[in-house]
Amino acid sequence: MKNAVRKPQQSPRFIPTNMAEARVRGWEELDIVFVTGDAYVDHPAFGVPLLARFLESKGFKVGIIAQPDWRSKEPFQALGRPRLFFAVAAGAMDSMVAHYTPARKIRRDDAYTPGNRHGARPNRATIVYTSRLKEAYRDVPVVIGGIEASLRRFAHYDYWEDKVRRSALLDAKADLLVYGMGETPLLELADRLARGEAFAAIRDIRGTAYAAGALPEGELSELPSYEEAVSSREAFGRAFRMISVEQNPHSAKVVAQRHAERYLVCNPPSFPVSEKELDALYALPFVKAPHPSYTEPIPAYEQIRNSVTTHRGCFGGCAFCAIVHHQGKTIQSRSEGSILKELEELSGLTWFKGSVSDLGGPTANMYGLRCGNDEAGAKCVRGSCLYPAPCPNLITDDTRSARLLARARRVSGVKHIAVSSGVRYDLLERQPNYLRELVGHHVSGLLKVAPEHLTDRVTKVMRKPGKASFERFRISFLKESERIGKRQYLVPYFISGHPGCRLEDMVELALSLKRMGMRVEQVQDFTPTPGTLSTCMYYTGVDPFTGEKVYVPKTDREKGLQKSLLLYHVPEERKNCLLALRECGREDAAEELFAGRTPGKVPVRGPVHVPGNRPGKTERPQQGPQGKGRRR
């Protein structure tokens, strides 16, 4: 078949975004065209450019159509008909999360768009983009992926419509869905198509899902059907539990779910990539800049332009987080040499001023960690290696991560390195060397941590460590800062309105903060995003693993009062705080909450403004590039 044998090609800077740019390379036809809801920033922290560079390095002719106007098919024809397939992603965030606040109000900004403007992508972008592509090129296969498609691959609860929706693959009428990190499945698909295999015959690639008229042969796990999930919340919770135990790629089975007369068939997850493979990804020739056609700054790029990703994956297993369902629980770390080389290259860029904004991943202090029992790890179905207690097989040795920080500081041209992607403080208790390196050299005055709540009844539902663990860490942090003569602060993140949280729990949280001398400046109102345990509990009112009933605050009024209690120190919130105290019979707490600051306490600040949120808003984004902190 034409072009079945390919030669790797040298990249002349940006991936083509139109045929004029493609012809500069001598191309009249592309193999694969990506369509994304984000602006095109050629940086490894953005998923589509990373995948495009990867496939390009394997010899495929690749293009990117970024934020096309979906109101007609013409923008989707900018790169012509690809030889193999279109690859569609809504962007680094679910498009509904990007468009609406937790109160379902339209946002006025979009950090992944030039000028931070809202409206550059449609609602349910995966479905809309696929529809336009099918209108333009009906016979060209469309592969959907990214976080939106990945977390909506099964029947799922949609907060914005307050109902259970079908699989995104069936709603979009796409030909294949890639879930999780897409390098391995996309490369296998492209290779097999280039060798002449028919698209419809390729049904066995790990990390993919497809629609079928009948169940495939072999061992599989059949979920309650879409129709059952719609009619029964018990069936919805049972389906979630069954999906959760099939996340380990070493032991997972094929999972199927009937939708009317068709089946959504999901193959087991892709295997984690090796250190060598991850190093090769980050060695690709990224320009590390937005496409030159943009004339306005892109906030998400400004946030990560000076950052370096050290690893992917997270074994924390927080109930409200989707990282484990997208990047996996296994920590996949780059080599120290690869990271130091990227730092050296970053220091040589003309716009670099010496400060690295982040050296980390989804959870910074998980770099280099792994399961110490391969046999047990191959069968493990725990959702978290840390909750309810650290797994005895988890290797928490911090030698590698502490050494990386020390060596990174010595890179020529690098004046300061911050670790701003967040840390697990319960893990830090086992990492004294990393803690000393972190507090001594990498805090920049503020360190992000995410206790999310300090009432044990709520943190249990969240699958987070409780108040005692946070207190131990807070004291250790302040003592170490004092020992080295630095005045440094914690940046604690908290969630209001989470399943399991009542007004009285927020009163106890507010009192705890008051007694610790903390003032939180931003509060995240819980948003039930697709695919998380918290969303399952929000919809069903039951923990699917224990069967216990879970209280769910759903009215805007109650959620507003919960948020007000956490902002008790803001004069404009005092009236609502008093109302909340009266409603839960805790008027006795008013005198303590509204008294002057307790003398002798070291202040611990709340979150600072981040791109994507307007100053003064009391929320933070839950997804974004590469899963740093709470992003992607």
CB 461 within 8 A of CB 319: yes
CB 550 within 8 A of CB 500: yes
Instruction: Name beta bridge partners: 256.
Output: 222, 265
Q: Is the peptide bond before 388 cis (omega within 30 degrees of 0)?
A: yes
Cβ neighbours of 289 (radius 10 Å): 17
What are phi and psi for residue 395, nearest 5 degrees? -90, 115
Q: Which two tokens stand for residue 332?
A: 């996949």
> How far is Cα 52 from Cα 216, in angstroms, rounded to an integer?
31
CB 143 within 8 A of CB 186: yes
Backbone angle region of 35, left / alpha / beta, with phi > 0 → left and psi within -120 to 50 → alpha: beta
* Strand, coil or helix: 85: strand
Instruction: Name beta bridge partners: 65.
Output: 35
* Strand, coil or helix: 307: strand
CB 386 within 8 A of CB 426: yes
Q: Is the dihedral of CA 231, 234, 235, 236 positive or negative?
A: positive
For helices 467-483 and 432-441, the axis angle rounded to 10 degrees is 60
- H helices within 17-99, ranges in order? 19-24, 47-57, 95-99
Residues 6+ apart with CB under 8 A from 285: 10, 11, 13, 53
**Helix, strand, coil % in the chain, rounded to nearest 5:** 35, 15, 50
- Strands 254-259 and 262-266, bridge-based pairing: antiparallel
- Residue 321 labelled as part of a binding site: yes
CB 494 within 8 A of CB 520: yes
CA 496, chain centre distance (Å): 20
Q: Is the dihedral of CA 208, 250, 92, 149 positive or negative?
A: positive
- Residue 385 labelled as part of a binding site: no
Backbone angle region of 207, left / alpha / beta, with phi > 0 → left and psi within -120 to 50 → alpha: left
Q: Which two tokens stand for residue 390?
A: 């650290």
* Strand, coil or helix: 29: coil
CB 594 within 8 A of CB 275: no
Cβ neighbours of 603 (radius 10 Å): 12
- H helices within 65-219, ranges in order? 95-99, 125-136, 146-151, 168-172, 183-194
Instruction: Name beta bridge partners: 257.
Output: 264
CA 493, chain centre distance (Å): 16
Angle at 170 between CA 166 and CA 174, to 5 degrees: 145
Which residues are documented as binding site for [4Fe-4S] cluster? 314, 318, 321
| Residue ranges at the known binding site | 314, 318, 321
